[in-house]
Amino acid sequence: MVVPNQDRDGVKVRAGCCTPFINEQLTDSEATQLAETLSLLAHPIRLRLLAILARHAGHVCVCDLEAALPVKQPTVSHHLRLLRDGGLIEGERRGQWVYYAIRREALARVRTLIHTFFDQLGES
């Protein structure tokens, strides 16, 4: 791969190290979108919220989530909001309580997105 330096059109051309062209298969916007999705997942409290909501297929109230996690109520609400804004869960008020549930279609889309990324990595 190492070749001597040379001029082209009177301009010194960097040479020696290199793969001449890098055609990316992952565009800027694709990378940004995937990174945002991964960032939404990349917090232990949010992962545990998803795990709890997925297990309790029905709906779980915030007070139970708070009881199951080592953070205070405003922090639970904060992470629930991020997950809701990201479309991964939905919340519904019933009387005093707000019940959250996982959105399995959205989760499936995320899974596919990540799966596809790894598949692209695989085909070297």
Q: For binding to DNA (CB under 7 A), which residues are involved?
A: 12, 14, 16-17, 39, 42-43, 45, 61-63, 66, 71-82, 91, 93, 95-98
DSSP H or E stretch at residue 11: strand 11-13
The stretches of the chain forming alpha helices (DSSP H) are 28-41, 44-55, 62-68, 73-85, 104-122
Decide: is 57 part of the binding site for a second copy (CB under 8 A).
yes
Decide: is 3 part of the binding site for a second copy (CB under 8 A).
no
Among 4, 67, 93, 105, binds a second copy (CB under 8 A): 67
- Phi, psi (degrees; rounded to nearest 5) at 84: -70, -45
In angstroms, what is the minimal distance from the CB of 84 to a second copy?
17
